[in-house]
Amino acid sequence: MSQGVSFFFGTGQADTTNHGTQNPADPEMEKKQVPESMRPKSLEPSNYLETIGTYKPKFPQAGHYEVCQKRIRAWKDGMMLLDTERAIHVWENTFFPTIYVPKSSLFDREGKGPPLKRCGDSDRNMHLIKFLFLHELADYVQADWGLVVKNKYIGDVIVIVEGRLKDYIRIPFKAVDEWREHEDVIHGFPRDPYKAMSVNQCSRAVEIQIGPDKFESDQAVILSQKGYPPRYYFNRDIFKLKLPSGQRLAAKDPRKNGKTFFCPYKGQAEKLNFHPRYFDMILHGKEYVNICWRFTHPPPEVLEIKDRFCFSNRMLKSISVDGTPLILETIPGDHGMSEEELAMFSYDV
């Protein structure tokens, strides 16, 4: 074996127990290998929602893995890198999975072999190596591999040599131009199969407060997703300022600010960006940046949110339905982003 950066779990020797040679794509083997602590005990809502208002998915936990029952392909510079129906979803955080693919799924181009090449030392992936050891997904990994495509280099590829995910590799998600599940492009990060969504009409009066100003609408739709707070999507009716007398003034239109973000669940965006677009508002001379967003090309399952506006809870002073206040999700102070946003922001940057 050529010299490089290699990591063993425990004693420094490659593990020789049976699980090191088992095929992780075997569903029956998956059931045996997943610890009981990582399996949901029931489907009660309490398994998914914190009781104090902070919504954090409780399943799957970080370290959970399972067979991805979809065809996965990836492209770089117009060249298909891999094609597999044996990919593995690994939850490196509690919000969305990461795709691991068999090393054998890489294409042999022009008889030169797969584009996987050894490269120099790197400690950028040390947190991922510790994660794989901690959750017993690998016993021996090599972190000094990369992909060479048309003389361009993709670094930080992890190869699992021994352990539960033997002969699987992790390619940085954003280093590849395009990932697909079957024929659908994956935007931002892979979808979590446990976070299904539904949209319902809401005829009740939903009131939001931004600073001293209140806005109200009885034409909202509610987007519900397992493990997350409900999101209210409004048409332009919400931008009519509500006075204490109950009178409503002309709508205060938000302003596009050019910023976009990724969401693999709710579809594509305006113009050519294929991402949702943020809007700003100015009230009483104060500017509220990224206060709301809009999807113009959502998928069929959430088509009702098309062209509607949803507000960031961080910007709202309060939200109520028929006069009953709702608990705004708790947001940590890390750069003003939620834990999920932090995970998205740092995902293979």
What is the spatial distance between Cα 186 and Cα 69, in angstroms, rounded to a whole number? 15
Q: pLDDT band for position 41 (50/70/90)?
A: very low
* Model pLDDT, residue 253: 74
State the chain's mean pLDDT as an integer. 78
pLDDT of 167 higher than 90: yes
Please, are residues 253 and 244 in contact by the beta-carbon 8 Å criterion?
Answer: no
* Model pLDDT, residue 223: 92
Beta pairing class for 178-181 and 72-76:
antiparallel
Task: Please provide residue 136's backbone torsions phi and psi, each rounded to the nearest 5 degrees.
Answer: 55, 35
Structure tokens at 22: 């088992």
Structure tokens at 330: 């708790």
Task: Please provide residue 255's backbone torsions phi and psi, each rounded to the nearest 5 degrees.
Answer: -120, 130
Q: pLDDT for 221-278, tens place per residue?
A: 999 887 677 889 999 889 888 777 766 666 677 888 777 666 777 765 443 334 567 8
Give the number of C-alpha atoms closer than 13 A to the C-alpha of residue 24, restricted to the C-beta side: 29
Q: Is it true that 6-185 and 197-346 share their CATH fold?
A: yes
* Model pLDDT, residue 26: 54
Give the residue extent of every domain in the chain.
6-185, 197-346
Q: pLDDT for 278-329, tens place per residue?
A: 888 888 888 888 888 888 878 888 889 999 999 988 889 999 999 999 887 6
E strand or H helix that includes residue 131? helix 126-134
Report in angstroms the alpha-carbon separations of 189 from 45, 50, 160, 287: 25, 24, 22, 31
Beta pairing class for 140-149 and 116-118:
antiparallel
Report in angstroms the alpha-carbon separations of 97 from 146, 197, 231, 320, 347: 21, 17, 22, 33, 11
Please, are residues 38 and 60 in contact by the beta-carbon 8 Å criterion?
Answer: yes
Letter for the amino acid at 239?
F
Q: Report the candidate in 75, 303, 65 with the shortest Cα–Cα distance to residue 166.
A: 65
Q: Report the candidate in 270, 259, 196 with the shortest Cα–Cα distance to residue 228.
A: 196
What is the spatial distance between Cα 81 and Cα 101, in angstroms, rounded to a whole number? 11
Report in angstroms the alpha-carbon separations of 6 from 116, 141, 153: 16, 6, 20
* Model pLDDT, residue 52: 42
Architecture of domain 197-346: Beta Complex (2.170)
Angle, vertex CA 333, rays to CA 330 and CA 338, nearest 5? 55
pLDDT of 46 higher than 90: no
Q: Which residue has the higher pLDDT, 332 or 176?
A: 176
pLDDT of 174 higher than 70: yes
Q: pLDDT for 9-35, tens place per residue?
A: 664 444 444 444 445 555 455 445 545
Residue 243 CB-density burial (10 A; 0-12 exposed, 13-18 middle, 19+ buried) = exposed
CATH code of 6-185, in short, is 2.170.150.40
Mean of pLDDT values over 109-118? 75
Sign of CA dihedral 172, 173, 175, 180: positive
Mean of pLDDT values over 87-107? 92
